[in-house]
Structure 1
Amino acid sequence: MITRILTTTMIMAMLAITPAIFAQHEGHGNHSEGDGSHAKVDAKTQTACPLSSKQIDKEIYADHDGKRVYFCCADCKAAFEKDPAKIISKLEAQGVKLETVSKMQTECPVMGGDIDKLLYSVHDGKKVYFCCPMCRPKFEIVPAKYIKKMEAKGIEFEQVKKSE
């Protein structure tokens, strides 16, 4: 009697879960496993203006966070400047591979002020500029710390030959 009850219970449990096993969750009913429907979009170069969808003019562009975005006209470039991160995210979501551009040093690694090209120090072949004479000694105490901080922002330093 107990065997019959256990067998019946097992059969009923299996019948109850069978539909759940074969059910497709939302958005997956129209393709089979491995058909590539969820493959990442292949990266493509930018050919259209992100705002107007017109052909880009390679002479009209803006650089933001080390990425270059091209536009069809100056008006679109100006509109981009209002929210560049949003437009870059949109392009990348569409699979557009933006050109990367190096950023040269424009701010002091110590205080963050605008650099003075007459105030600099050379460390490991890298010319590091400062905003004022007081920042150089602070930099010299732990130069690697400041260089690492700037390189994390995508800043590239001017390279110096040994004779300079």
Structure 2
Amino acid sequence: MSMRNVSVMMCAVLAVGFMAFAADEKAKPFKATCPISGKAALQDKTADYKGAKVYFCCGNCPGAFTKDTAKFASKANHQLVATGQATQVKCPLSGGKLNPDANVEIGGVKVGFCCDKCQGKAAEAKGDAQVDLAFADAAFGKGFEIKKK
């Protein structure tokens, strides 16, 4: 095989790989829940929060959110993780190292814990209490980090 043929084949492989990656990125539709209403959020209705963006269902919700962020913090923090703007680094209850076998799905987000005790607490809680347990500001500060842009 000549050098030219090898070069052409390498370019073809890279092009196919890039197209597959680009198609995979496009295949992920935007999905977020408004922390105010619980309805589907829109990408163009946002408010800045903790160095990231929180998405809302309409133009009225960002104002309500900024007036009282503490009231909606748990759901906003949950949304930051659900939209990939924040990642989990430690247990949100203890701040301890994550145990790969101790997980609970909370509102469509897989949340890890350090031990069975913390996992059990989260599994027992339901609805908003479960979101508050794992995503309240104190828990969010212990267990999650906003991704750097």
Q: Which has the higher contact order (CA 8 A, sep 6+)?
A: 2
Structure with the larger helix share? 2
Q: TM-score, normalised by structure 2?
A: 0.32
TM-score, normalised with respect to structure 1: 0.30
